[in-house]
Structure 1
């Protein structure tokens, strides 16, 4: 402990006095202290509430608080200080794909609704429109903060200000704009007021996001995926923001209420639907996976953390980086890569939605500290009581509220019918009201996003969840008095708390005594709110916060440090003092705070933090990695001198750190460990992996030396890294291994190029051109070339007519489908009656036979079938029969994310088609037979991304209505792995 105490730098008089009089005594107490362990969190048995159709814990009850036509298709909710619920609607959801003639919609734009239970009977009697705006297209977020109503509707965050309190906007401001994802599930999500008074929000990976805050700071976040950004032409992996960092994919942000000071707090999600903060400042979120990969997650977000969906610069999908033997979920979130934060709880298949953190005692003390997560795909609100483990958290999942029996949620065996619409419960958001009740919005539909709807009337519901037999009255909050402001600060509703926070902060020292009294509250979340607030109440308040650095509760010490970071320009003294804290999560917070500080100011503290890493704590080593970001080479000599040794004898903590930092100077040591037979296979392989992340010729040479050895396992691993890296980060280095580039110069390519030359010749007779075009249309490679020519409008009407006669019999099914974008199909389309199909008695046994004969060529169920289209093993957990029929009969209505087809034409005229897996110096496509095309970007002449799904419609597969009834009966029962 003395290492930290007596090597700290100069401090203010107050801080020095504090250190000498209190810190020396209390540190010994802290070193002996263990965190309080609560009883295991259990929801107990569930019962079925016939009035609502929900299953709930025995100690809770539900009421139908509101329903359509009071509002339609609810996407997000918030509550104001009067206890009224505000709802954003999405009637105009993806109307360019969802027929506006069929689905209820608003020509004047989507709406924000205000609902109120005036008489306190647990049911909302009134509903009114706050705003309807053409700029609102399926908005995904709403926050009511004071008199400002903040609506997230890509590409903008819009603030409507009600200056006179008449529930009508007096002012409209585009607060921030430039986010990707216009009318897109993976776009901009809700804003929430943090315990520090700042605004927090996130956006999915439908980028790029190019956003400038009101102080001129610009975020530039790009990736391989583009889902409807206003900057589509600018989309590129590897963009750099004004902080000099490369942020990728889905992103979490913080900004001051005046629009200045935007800061990235985490990145590389797929589509985190919402961000929730607890009063300690912890950030919680969920995230969706690529459909069919059973990798949905609920996570704690470490500040600055990379959550691992794409590679580091966003140029490669996880499929392109998947290593031999990696489990799908591990590969999906790059969990074996240094620099990636642990994924949290992997919940399987699903469609995650809104999140909230419950801190009140009004639902019963056992619910205090519960994370609530909406899961529309599995018809459930999940509950977690986060448990501290090392520097991170363990999340144990519980089903809080669901429309299914417990065994059906877990085993997922049932299927819905028109008579049984239990799976139409689609919780889009979960909210804590001012009364402490839990409110659940239900976008009632057989579909769950993914660009499609089924319910044509836009029906929606809001449920109110309360303790059984206990009245939770709506509080009266008088914000004109200090006591009323304190009451608001302690309210269960997160954005209502901000109203009290802002007014108390404005009082400054005048309200310190009242706020200081909250530090004695028995609820630690209330204490934490007081800490954040005191930090913003002048020097006297800061002194109170400094005292909390020695609180017995490590969460309060952590909160105090976070709060001081917000108001003090120099936190080095605090960091030094806490670098020996007995709690790993406190030390973790110190580490992430040092990320952008110069090494000369923080080296001693970093060494102290690193010396306490004993291994086996991924959160802690990732925090150290963030702390040393950009300083890896500078700090290596000091780390090695203090903690290093002979490479074969590295301690687990140091070996972890070298894997995470992988400095160039460690190459020889890593190579030695990789080739040391006295180490375990896991230790050797970890060293090889670290080498694989060092982009230097020396690392390539070391990997080649390992690959040339006779060390079992390690040799093969090194060879894989060499071949894999040749197609991305090591493309420019000297390497002596066989290349694994797809052969695009085959004889058939040459033959098709000759025919293409005939078509393009100005001298060839028309009959000869027609003959050449038909020959190309019969061939897979030739068909792709014809699609490229049609895209460039390089085919005459005569040639298009000739191709139309043949190309729909092309041996490649995908070409037959894509040809419909350019050529006239000679056969009339077959119309299917959904009413007829649903009226038939589908046989799941016969449906499996239909799948095996018609669908298994592209889709997997379990280990059966091929992995070309989305995995269908749990499709029944997401879609009911009507949803399945819509997806099968209208495959292009919503192409699954990541399954867009690309056609690349090279400068020599050869072509390749498939799913884009990586985009950089080497472009990687996965072809229709799971083959890989590794193409130098310098060789590419043109690219085309198709919006049409390559999935054939049923008629093209010779399916009839009976086949579809059987198939959907089979698929809708698939709800388990």
Structure 2
């Protein structure tokens, strides 16, 4: 699908201010003649058959985080003007002391742009809400710790009633928290929460969710997270959660877990859940289909360890980040790379053109784009490789773009925070509009925002009028392009029961849209016994997708899924059989055994989605079903085919230890096969598995396998196998000179001059200098010795020492002397910038092929998130915005020693990546205190960098 630039916008008035509130100029956009305003152009690029127009902008609303569409076609905006005021409190910043707001925008004359703005509610309980759903006269706003429901009882577009629907979610004033509710095709409410827990929530029937993780949230409101506890379903849920609840607040259920921060998700008419997910390395964001019951793989299974703590020596970032080689984790989906994914929507109509039906629209504020995916079924899962730039401010090809020229070019300020489909079939895009995204930062002090409207070229797309008093009007609502409008039609039709069945069936037979048909199938079981019978008949339909949605719809209204599963267990579609497997998760083995074995017969030995669905169906039945599988597929583990090997790997019960030990030691198997056996053993949390790993370490002929066994034994000694054996710690070898200097530094009877000379010598020695960091962090050095160190340590030959010294022994020059506007006026030299990076940054940060360090965040794609000014600001003021996962903590131990670094794991054993990049394991019982400190990144003045060098550095990072 070719693309073309269709409009050009600008609101820049010079400097760093995006617009002047006093002017509030409204630009009328026409696709035939791009408009330009004062300052640099702000381009949007779309497919050639689409147009875009500016539908609304500030001051009609401010800082839009999310939007929804009501049955009148109006756009509702949740604002975050007060977004993290504790840090985004620059002078002159727009503020709403009475709380954040929900605003209704309306095009009253049908000319294609909003002309009316109404404040529906302003409430101090709305602190940077990042979720909104309009469901009839109920407006559901997600603002941690609560989902709030506001009701307009008299139709005057003002909130008359307020209800705390559910509460106890973590992440107050944090966008890793509650996100938008969406009405599913079954009319239940679906929503998600990010990983800024803990989430301790009780629904209105008394069912309790108790979720947490190692992540502490990066917020002053959440001092310390709680580990995940067992919820009332007997399971441990961690990280970000996908949830469903009945509209009356009962029936809260976790659908999937352990993602990082899916800003929101959407549910298509088949009942598929689609979501984006952030990473924490600016390298591995993703868009994925989220399988029910799935573990999305961000943290360890129990949430106590980050992916960095679990990363194996031979794993790349993507594999490690999403735990892709761990049993029990679903595939990562489509990796979009660096960015900051936000809102998402699924387009199901022909109104934009038939090529857009079935398109997943995924906003990425970091990449200045709305991606368009066309998912296609692939085995038991989906393939998302078919992707275009649906809307972008930079265009699809940016390989030769001068990123360092973006200062003053506001195209990089296009930050799509949400995307929604209107009742007219147009696509609406909310633009947060800021030079920076991520890290809870904000540089736009005026709260400016925009909403664009995307339509087919040459078509107007009128907003339909819906009459809910007639069956046809209710059907029209059910078949609306706007996802939350459909629930109104569903509810009205369900209330009428079997008497509307003839009209519903006629609509089903008449429709040529498969998504419309799917919505009607969900409705059928709610239209009395005749409707249910019609749904049951569809289980035999020739269309696999209709069979699948019929199964889901019937399952949603029954407490006993076994009879339904028996009908579909031999279905020829792997996707349908996947649904059967998922439905059996909570069915006891005595009722599900034969069904599960039949489903296992249908596994091709390759489809990871199908394997994970089988694993889910066999959850808590592993030990009992494993011998049945062995009897079915072969007792000799050396003769197992891929089906049996993968099933045993996925289930890894204690009974499989002997078989996997044989496979790991068998020299005729490939390294990959032996390594898979090691991984299976490593996920058995039993002493017998640890003993088997020790046996392999000693007996393996393949040195790679022996070394990997050694790594697993070291790694597991701090978590699942703690206390089963002792791991010998290798003490760091120090030279005799370093030992002598250390002794003189600490001895009480050494003259001051000799002590200072010893400290100076330690400062200049690579190994000796590293002994000084924990002493400085623990404030156990006198002011005079601190001065001596500062005078000498920047001559140390070890680059990592020089860089990290800025945290403990800063130089005299203040960063305030550096002028960001002055630096922006300088032309950068990329070659010189490469040298500056290597000398001052490369010991901590990865950057393409220039450096492979992994102490700090990977900067390879930082240009996709920040413009030149924002990047400079981050370098000159490193404490202002610290990337998630890189908040340094100082641990003080019972023996008085200190360890300083990034938290990787937090349970009975705590893993810290220290300032040299080494992972240190601490017994939690020996930790006296933890204290968050400033970033490890020194300011440029401490490193002695001049303004021209910074201009060169930024040119290199932006290349």
Give the TM-score normalised by structure 2. Answer: 0.90
**Contact 2:210-2:228 within 8 A present in 1 as well:** no
Aligned residues: 910
Three-state SS of the structure 1 residue aligned to 2:526 is coil
Three-state SS of the structure 1 residue aligned to 2:363 is strand
**Match of 2:30?**
none
Residue 544 of structure 2 is aligned to residue 558 of structure 1: no
**Match of 2:836?**
850
1:872 deviates by 1.0
| Cα distance in 2, alignment partners of residues 536 and 754 from structure 1 | 83
Three-state SS of the structure 2 residue aligned to 1:956 is coil
**Contact 1:223-1:314 within 8 A present in 2 as well:** yes
Three-state SS of the structure 1 residue aligned to 2:817 is coil
The 1:404–1:233 alpha-carbon spacing in structure 2 relative to 1, beyond 3 Å, is closer
The 1:833–1:660 alpha-carbon spacing in structure 2 relative to 1, beyond 3 Å, is same
The 1:109–1:742 alpha-carbon spacing in structure 2 relative to 1, beyond 3 Å, is farther
Within 5 Å, give how 1:466-545 maps onto structure 2: 466-520=455-509, 521-545=511-535
Residue 819 of structure 2 is aligned to residue 833 of structure 1: yes
1:666 deviates by 1.4
**Match of 2:868?**
881
**Match of 2:706?**
715
1:952 deviates by 1.4
| Cα distance in 2, alignment partners of residues 742 and 578 from structure 1 | 61
**Match of 1:432?**
421
**Match of 1:46?**
4
Residue 644 of structure 2 is aligned to residue 654 of structure 1: yes
| Cα distance in 1, alignment partners of residues 661 and 875 from structure 2 | 52
1:428 deviates by 0.9
**Match of 1:223?**
213
Three-state SS of the structure 2 residue aligned to 1:350 is coil
Residue 257 of structure 2 is aligned to residue 267 of structure 1: yes
1:105 deviates by 2.2
The 1:338–1:130 alpha-carbon spacing in structure 2 relative to 1, beyond 3 Å, is same
**Match of 2:674?**
684
| Cα distance in 1, alignment partners of residues 792 and 523 from structure 2 | 69
| Cα distance in 1, alignment partners of residues 534 and 125 from structure 2 | 46
**Match of 2:889?**
902
| Cα distance in 2, alignment partners of residues 96 and 147 from structure 1 | 34
**Contact 1:208-1:229 within 8 A present in 2 as well:** no
- Larger CA deviation: 771-780 vs 521-530: 771-780
The 1:814–1:156 alpha-carbon spacing in structure 2 relative to 1, beyond 3 Å, is farther
1:516 deviates by 2.5
1:963 deviates by 2.5
Within 5 Å, give how 1:128-527 maps onto structure 2: 128-227=118-217, 232=222, 235-292=225-282, 294-396=283-385, 397-408=387-398, 414-520=403-509, 521-527=511-517
Residue 948 of structure 2 is aligned to residue 954 of structure 1: no
The 1:498–1:230 alpha-carbon spacing in structure 2 relative to 1, beyond 3 Å, is farther
| Cα distance in 2, alignment partners of residues 935 and 746 from structure 1 | 28
**Match of 1:31?**
none
- Larger CA deviation: 350-359 vs 534-543: 534-543
1:504 deviates by 1.4
**Match of 2:723?**
732
Q: Could you list the per-position Cα deviations for residues 503-536 of structure 1 after superposition, in whole angstroms to 9, with x for gaps in the alignment?
A: 2112222322222233212211111111111222
**Match of 1:943?**
930
Q: Could you list the per-position Cα deviations for residues 475-521 of structure 1 after superposition, in whole angstroms to 9, with x for gaps in the alignment?
A: 00112222111110000000011111112112222322222233212
| Cα distance in 1, alignment partners of residues 704 and 773 from structure 2 | 43
1:860 deviates by 1.8
Q: Could you list the per-position Cα deviations for residues 821-879 of structure 1 after superposition, in whole angstroms to 9, with x for gaps in the alignment?
A: xxx99765533333222223333333333222322232221132332211111111111
Within 5 Å, give how 1:518-917 maps onto structure 2: 518-520=507-509, 521-707=511-697, 708-734=699-725, 738-739=728-729, 781-788=771-778, 811=793, 818=807, 830-865=816-851, 866-917=853-904
**Contact 1:97-1:894 within 8 A present in 2 as well:** no
| Cα distance in 1, alignment partners of residues 370 and 884 from structure 2 | 24
Three-state SS of the structure 2 residue aligned to 1:187 is coil
1:158 deviates by 1.3
| Cα distance in 1, alignment partners of residues 876 and 908 from structure 2 | 39
**Contact 1:110-1:134 within 8 A present in 2 as well:** yes
Residue 949 of structure 2 is aligned to residue 963 of structure 1: yes
**Contact 1:756-1:772 within 8 A present in 2 as well:** no
1:671 deviates by 1.7
Three-state SS of the structure 2 residue aligned to 1:892 is coil
**Contact 2:227-2:304 within 8 A present in 1 as well:** yes
1:964 deviates by 2.5
- 5+ long unaligned stretches in structure 2: 9-33, 35-41, 764-768, 794-800
Give the TM-score normalised by structure 1. Answer: 0.88
Q: Could you list the per-position Cα deviations for residues 718-777 of structure 1 after superposition, in whole angstroms to 9, with x for gaps in the alignment?
A: 232222222321122136x6446889999989998998998xxxxx99x99x99999999
**Contact 2:432-2:450 within 8 A present in 1 as well:** yes
- Larger CA deviation: 352-361 vs 634-643: 634-643
| Cα distance in 2, alignment partners of residues 331 and 77 from structure 1 | 34
The 1:783–1:717 alpha-carbon spacing in structure 2 relative to 1, beyond 3 Å, is closer
Three-state SS of the structure 2 residue aligned to 1:173 is strand
The 1:921–1:828 alpha-carbon spacing in structure 2 relative to 1, beyond 3 Å, is same
| Cα distance in 2, alignment partners of residues 160 and 911 from structure 1 | 50
| Cα distance in 2, alignment partners of residues 774 and 688 from structure 1 | 47
Q: Could you list the per-position Cα deviations for residues 269-290 of structure 1 after superposition, in whole angstroms to 9, with x for gaps in the alignment?
A: 1111111100010000011111
Within 5 Å, give how 1:89-104 maps onto structure 2: 89-104=79-94
| Cα distance in 1, alignment partners of residues 128 and 366 from structure 2 | 19
1:234 deviates by 6.4
Three-state SS of the structure 1 residue aligned to 2:495 is helix
1:438 deviates by 0.7
1:405 deviates by 2.6
| Cα distance in 1, alignment partners of residues 730 and 759 from structure 2 | 33
| Cα distance in 2, alignment partners of residues 806 and 413 from structure 1 | 44
1:909 deviates by 1.4
**Contact 1:157-1:177 within 8 A present in 2 as well:** yes
Three-state SS of the structure 2 residue aligned to 1:713 is helix
Three-state SS of the structure 1 residue aligned to 2:124 is coil
| Cα distance in 1, alignment partners of residues 98 and 914 from structure 2 | 44
- Larger CA deviation: 681-690 vs 661-670: 681-690
**Contact 2:404-2:954 within 8 A present in 1 as well:** no
- Larger CA deviation: 304-313 vs 533-542: 533-542
Three-state SS of the structure 1 residue aligned to 2:191 is strand
- Larger CA deviation: 127-136 vs 326-335: 127-136
**Contact 1:752-1:776 within 8 A present in 2 as well:** no
The 1:709–1:143 alpha-carbon spacing in structure 2 relative to 1, beyond 3 Å, is same
The 1:86–1:668 alpha-carbon spacing in structure 2 relative to 1, beyond 3 Å, is same
1:214 deviates by 1.4
| Cα distance in 2, alignment partners of residues 405 and 631 from structure 1 | 51
1:399 deviates by 1.4
| Cα distance in 2, alignment partners of residues 725 and 616 from structure 1 | 28
